[in-house]
Amino acid sequence: MFGYLNKCEFIGRLGTDPEYKDTQKGGCIVTFRLLLSENWKDRKTGEQKERKEWIPVVIWNQIIAQSACNLLKKGSYVYISGRMQTRRWQDKNGNNCYTTEVVLQQFDGNLQILDYEDNLKNEQLS
């Protein structure tokens, strides 16, 4: 029997400030969008090209969520690992909508701040 692996890892910058929400069950979640940018030079034209990907991130791990709210802001450079999860909901017209997110669960996720010292320096200067 074969197993499955649902794990993804990204390094990028926060495209939005973290948004904190309390849940009805007494927990919390934090959401933000992670910006991934890929740059290359077009072989035919020599022109610089760029492709951006926006990754929705949801943190259910309370310790990571609180740290994210306290230490991160739009533009922070981070490494995240989590799992892909597709969520379904209905809009106000009753249409089914879907979104796929990277989810950091209680025991299944990691977030590392890669520019923490730079953030501290900027905070001290302002």
- Can you give the pLDDT at residue 118? 65
Residue 3 is assigned to a structural domain of this protein: no
Q: What is the CATH number of the domain that holds 59?
A: 2.40.50.140
Residue 64 is assigned to a structural domain of this protein: yes
Residue 94 is assigned to a structural domain of this protein: yes
**Residue 111 sits in which domain range?**
8-117
The pLDDT tens digits for 26-50 are 888 999 999 999 999 999 999 999 9
- Can you give the pLDDT at residue 123? 46
Residue 1 is assigned to a structural domain of this protein: no
DSSP, collapsed to helix, strand or coil, labels residue 5 as: coil
How many domains, in total, are found in the chain? 1
Average pLDDT, the chain: 89
Residue at token pair 């950091």? 104
Give the confidence band of 108 by pLDDT, cuts at 50, 70, 90.
Answer: confident
Q: How far is CA 26 from CA 20, 29, 58, 78, 96, in A?
A: 13, 10, 17, 27, 28
Residues 6+ apart with CB under 8 A from 69: 18, 20, 30
Residue 122 is assigned to a structural domain of this protein: no
Residue 40 is assigned to a structural domain of this protein: yes
The pLDDT tens digits for 64-93 are 898 899 999 999 999 999 999 999 989 999
Residue 75 is assigned to a structural domain of this protein: yes
1 vs 9, residue with greater confidence: 9
Burial class (CB in 10 A: 0-12, 13-18, 19+), 18: buried
- Please give the Cα distance from 80 to 57 (Å, whole number): 9
Give the confidence band of 25 by pLDDT, cuts at 50, 70, 90.
Answer: confident
Residue 126 is assigned to a structural domain of this protein: no
Give the confidence band of 120 by pLDDT, cuts at 50, 70, 90.
Answer: low
